[in-house]
Structure 1
Amino acid sequence: MTNKIVVLGSLNVDQTLHVHRLPQPGETIKMTAQSSALGGKGANQAVAARRTGLAQTAFIGRVGADAAGKRLLHSLAAEQIDIQHIQVDPQQGTGQAYVLLQDSGENSIIIYGGSNQALTTADVQAAHSLIQAADFLIAQCEIPLAVIAEAFAYAQQVNTRTILNPAPVVPQLPAEILEHTDLICPNETEAQALTGISINDEATLVQCTQALYQLTQACSVITVGDKGAYLVAKDISPQLIPASAVPVVDTTAAGDTFIGAMVSQLQPDFKNLVAAVRFACQASALTVQSLGAQPSIPTYQAVQASYS
């Protein structure tokens, strides 16, 4: 079965600044290199869903009437992602992300929202038929929260499953979003901000995941970097799915790859959640071994080959 996935989210061009380490306050350091790649959490997740699971993927979003916007539209179309509901905004420029990439592979990211922040509930309403025909609707927090709330409420009316990636983190997510979320997937930093529980070991990870489940009443999957992902869901035993030990080059888009890959494999009743999370961990492990956001997202064939 091929999943039908709609991604509601952000489209950015990433400018990556390669540095040995982050500067201290008041310090000036040299870049070792710079590079540019297509990104945005929404776009990354859509590409991951399409590449890793061959899912029928469509996008709701906005780009600017500029070269960056044209580049993003062309790239998504080349990935065979439906771009009919990506509006070209004549007033706001395309979103930008500035990535400080350290030699360790860890990154820090600064976002300029641009046209992503101009997305409206009317854009969602214009895509109702698209959402109704989908198995899953994925959203992140790089777009206005009111737009997510509108989309999730409608999705549940028409029995489309909703997946929330609460990133960048919003400590107090609106109840209108949480009550219409079927599965929430933060990383450990985001989970800590949502629950107030610091994750220091496996015991506190369990506490945090259970608190997240109580907060949302949704299935919860917390990604914990090179440790893997911990999940809590109805009728499934809480468990940690370990990640493969791999050399890390760049962690950009690892979380987005995880979500896109997981949803590409997930059944609408969530009964295969463990297998879908295991597949997503494998896909993310491939992503961190290459530079850039979308350039590092693997194909389904690459993920399958990595099991051997």
Structure 2
Amino acid sequence: MVAKFSLDDVCLSAGGVLIQGERPEGKGAIVYSLEKIRPGDWFIAFSDSIKDGHDELKEASERGACGAIVKRRSRYAYAPQGFPLVAVSDTRTAYFDLIGSYCKWVKPRVIGVTGTSGRRSAIFLMAHLLREKYSVHVSLVQGLNWMGCAESILEMPEKSEVLIFEAQAIERGEIAQIGGALEPEIAVITECRHPLSSASRDRAMAELYCEILETLSLEDKARAVIFDDSSAARERAREILSPEHLILHSQSNTEDLDASLTESEIWSAVQVAQLLGLEENIIKEVLAELCSEEQVNA
């Protein structure tokens, strides 16, 4: 399953305007890699420090793209005459707008997970727990490339009930962009520590990773689950959200669990499972099974 968009979908979701060519018929997937283009797909032209997708418009047309989503410019030197072009103010922003539009159409409960460590394990455990009750789709970052997570969201099955996405960033604004598109109901921060910890570095990490809290849904049930116990992360969280939206790790809210469950990834996954209505006995059974499997594999 891959999300597909008509010209109207692209224009309405991403603020695009058809500036060249005839109106394409039907719907196509959104593709940024020439190698992945199939006849009828939309090619979206990204630019970075290495290459400019606008230089590939001719090849995209030759590979069967129904049209291209391009950044608004005066000229498109490499676009064949008559090849449909939809101009937007920024193609990366448009891509996230399209992702957000598809997510709103599928309507899963959305969980965003970030942190410098423990987030991937937390995601896998959350998915394992939640699949006891829901149809779950997981979208992960590939290396340091945000595109992998974004592309996977557009492959989410229509019947998905829960979407768990991984948010990673090198620069400010990257987590806010994907979080802003998806507006998670639950935002999870495992840990956000600099490897060479200091007050200023921890504060910078908190500012970077707590961006996800600013994208949290405005619904009353929205919650932030934060394991990190650094003063920088907690101060930042309290500046962004009111207390009723925060679930902060402490010994008191894990004292009934096995001591091993106080690790960031396990504690975070359990909190999310509880928020989404999994019964405590089911959570404990699943965790016990996982522990047994680990012992056997060891």
TM-score band (shorter)? Answer: 0.3 to 0.5
Normalised TM-score (structure 2) = 0.40
Structure with the larger strand share: 1
Which entry has the higher C-alpha Rg, 1 or 2?
2
Normalised TM-score (structure 1) = 0.39
- Answer 1 or 2: higher relative contact order, Cα 8 Å, separation at least 6: 1
